[in-house]
Structures are given as C-alpha cells and as structure tokens.
C-alpha cells in the first residue's frame, strides 16, 4: 500500500508578489525550496492564513535569497501581498518509508528568511 504523507511545510511565509497574467504557479525563493525539499514543478498545497482558503498549484523557483513568495496566474486571485501562507508538499510513500519519513518544518521570519529547519 502507498500512503500520501505531508513531507514538508514552509511556515507562514508572506506573499511578496502577485502576477495575474502568468501561466500559474507559486514562486518560492530557491533557498526555501531547498530547505523544504521542494523541486521546481512539484505539486503543492497552500493555505492562506488570512482567508482560510486552500489551493493546489506547483512550485516555480525564484532567485535564492530574494525572500520572494509569488502567486502567479489564477492563484494571484487567492491572496494579497502581505498575507501569510502555509506551503505544504506531500510524498507518496510505502508503509515502510512512511514510518521513517518525518515532517520537515521550515520556519521563516518577516522577510521570508529561514529561521529554523526542524524534522518532526
């Protein structure tokens, strides 16, 4: 049996940019993606902590160290600059892998810079 588990989460990054006329995705600072083990094109779920809205999209790499969190395309309608998100990635794993996976939590400051990376 395969299970879908939460693999990693970026805790409360702030939206810094909206680009409505774009193919669609969530742009994430490359350093945050690396810390959270998220690859370009990887399917994501995001939760807007200000509206309670949840949406799915995929990751696009933004310049490393930029602090950029950008909603692009239709997702730009789902938040405002300054809103905080939870960005969640999942993995499909075997029962054996599920027991060892653990959740990687990336916590950021007000400038979307990494404060800590923990494994739960």
Q: What structural domains does the chain harbor? A: 2-119 (2.40.40.20)
Q: Is 66 a catalytic residue?
A: no
Strand order in the sheet with 25-29: 17-19, 69-72, 25-29, 54-62, 43-48, 84-94, 2-14, 104-108, 114-119
Told to judge if 58 belongs to the known catalytic residues of this protein, a careful annotator would answer yes
The whole-model pTM stands at 0.92
Chain centroid to CA 68: how far?
11
Output the pLDDT for position 113. 97
* Per-residue model confidence (pLDDT) at position 101: 86
pLDDT digits (tens, 9 = 90+) for 23-39: 779 999 999 999 999 99
Residue 15 confidence (pLDDT) above 80: yes
User: Mean of the pLDDT values across residues 6-21?
Assistant: 96
pLDDT tens readout for residues 45-69: 999 999 999 999 999 999 999 999 9
Pick the catalytic residue: 22, 50, 58, 89?
58
- Give me the pLDDT at residue 102, please: 87
So what's the pLDDT on residue 81? 98
| Candidate list 25, 57, 66, 70, residue with the active-site label | 25
> Would the pLDDT of 78 be above 80?
yes
Q: What is the pLDDT of residues 81-102, one digit of tens each?
A: 999 999 999 999 998 888 888 8
């Amino acid at each position: 049996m395969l299970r879908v588990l939460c693999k990693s989460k970026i805790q409360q990054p702030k939206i810094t940019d909206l680009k409505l006329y774009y193919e669609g995705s969530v742009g994430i600072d490359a350093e945050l993606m690396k810390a959270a083990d998220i690859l370009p094109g990887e399917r994501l779920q995001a939760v807007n902590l200000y509206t309670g809205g949840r949406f799915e999209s995929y990751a696009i790499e933004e310049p490393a160290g930029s602090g950029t969190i950008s909603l692009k395309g239709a997702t730009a309608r789902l938040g405002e600059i300054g809103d905080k998100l939870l960005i969640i990635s999942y993995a499909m794993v075997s029962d054996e892998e599920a027991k060892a996976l653990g959740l990687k939590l990336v916590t950021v400051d007000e400038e979307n810079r990494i404060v800590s990376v923990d494994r739960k």
